[in-house]
Amino acid sequence: MSHEEHREHVPAPVPVPDLIFPRRTLVSLLVFAACWETLSHLAPYLGIPPFAIPSFVRIAKSLADITPVDVAVTLARVIAALIASFVLGVALAMAMYRSEALDSYLHPMVRILMAVPVVSWILFAVLWFPGVEFRIGFVLVVVCGPVFLVDSLDAMRGVPRELRHMMQSFRPTTLQYFVKLMLPAIVPSIFTSWKVNISLAIRVVTIAELVGAVTGIGHQLSVAQELFSVSDVFAWTLVLVVLLFLLEAVVARVEKRLLRWRA
């Protein structure tokens, strides 16, 4: 083997973090915080009720009162529903990829499911199911499942013909074909679906918990609204945003690990 044939193992260039972006983000957040704090002090002079724009001291007190159990319950609901949606979505995508007939039957149903507004699903869930947990789970799965399904199916159809041809030439069983080729090939697309669905699930679970739940962040937001406590709403919203960022960071880390083969 000639030396020219070897390509040296040069480690992939490590992206240099863009220092300008975080600084600008920090500046914009500080400007927003300063405006908010100023407004909270000026509110009485502007004819705005004092509770409408609470100061950061008040918000900090609300943050201190956050009940971890509600955060844990919401997080558990989101993760359980996302896992169930993922398994169902990918399994159905595999079946639809395999069977054109099944695809032609299910495709219109999936389109309809995706067109139904979240609020309608919540109302259906309340009317159909007695159990709160099942209602919330149902709404999350029916909203997130189709995203996993459609993305996975599209990704499977996008697997290069050359790779499918090569794999088939070695005569895999149907299970081997999916496990060795299709599933690894759609991993990048699956991660994109996870990122989209985490954000979707966090928003949907809050709305679902607003209706009928006695635990979770959505329920706490409902209580805060009944008490006219903007600081509590602010604090719980902040928790939701942090939760979203944390989940996204976990997915990004797993993605980086699993997709290290990419150039």
Interface with other proteins (CB under 8 A) = 1-2, 5-7, 9, 162-163, 165-166, 168-173, 176, 180-181, 184-185, 187, 259, 261-263
Q: What amino acid occupies position 222?
A: S
Determine the Cα–Cα distance for residues 65 and 223; give it in Å rounded to an integer. Answer: 13
Closer to other proteins by CB, 11 or 117: give it.
11
CA 136 to chain centre: 15
Indicate the residue among 9 and 100 with the shorter CB distance to other proteins. 9
64 vs 263 by CB, closer to other proteins: 263
Taking the C-alpha atoms of residue 38 and residue 23, their distance in angstroms, rounded to an integer, is 22
Rounded to a whole number of angstroms, the minimum distance from the CB of residue 190 to other proteins is 13
Nearest distance from C-beta of residue 208 to other proteins, angstroms = 36
Nearer to other proteins, 10 or 16 (CB): 10
3-state secondary structure 146-205: HHHHHHHHHHHHCCCHHHHHHHHHCCCCHHHHHHHHHHHHHHHHHHHHHHHHHHHHHHHH
Buried residues in 144-162 as b, exposed as e (16+ CB within 10 A): bbbbbbbbbbebbeebeee
Report, in Å, the least distance between residue 182 CB and other proteins.
11
Task: Choose between 46 and 165: whose C-beta lies nearer to other proteins.
Answer: 165
Centroid of chain to Cα 112: 21
Specify the residue, 3 or 21, whose C-beta has the smaller distance to other proteins: 3
Q: How far is the CB of 260 from other proteins (least distance, A)?
A: 8
State whether residue 34 is helix, strand or coil: helix
The helix (run of H) or strand (run of E) holding residue 102 is: helix 100-115
**185, 262 contact by CB (below 8 A):** no
Q: How far is the CB of 261 from other proteins (least distance, A)?
A: 5
Tokens of 235: 């604090």
The nearest distance, CB 17 to other proteins, in angstroms, is 24
Q: Smallest distance, Å, CB 164 to other proteins?
A: 10
Burial class (CB in 10 A: 0-12, 13-18, 19+), 263: exposed
